[in-house]
């Protein structure tokens, strides 16, 4: 394989992981930088095991709206 193809695949995989990790604590740019510095494989495994999304961090208890008060 040519070096250009390897580099392009590495960057494309890093961008894909960044897109998948956009709802994590690191956000898009943090995941992108981490996958470029380390490897997309390591960052992908970390995202699978430790990537909590915003929907998981929010509480699921919904408070019923109070009745409007009359003045």
Chain segment 15-68, per-residue pLDDT in tens? 999 999 998 888 999 999 999 999 999 999 998 888 765 555 554 455 556 667
Q: What confidence tier does 5 reach under pLDDT thresholds 50, 70, 90?
A: very high
**Nearest to residue 51, comparing CAs of 8, 22, 71?**
22
Q: Give this prediction's pTM.
A: 0.68
Contact 31, 23 (CB under 8 A): no
């Amino acid at each position: 394989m040519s070096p250009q193809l390897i580099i392009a695949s590495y960057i494309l995989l890093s961008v894909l992981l960044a897109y998948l990790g956009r709802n994590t604590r690191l956000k898009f740019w943090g995941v992108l930088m981490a996958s470029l510095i380390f490897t997309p494989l390591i960052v992908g495994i970390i995202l699978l095991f430790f990537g909590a999304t915003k929907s998981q961090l929010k509480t699921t208890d919904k408070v019923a709206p109070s009745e409007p008060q009359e003045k």
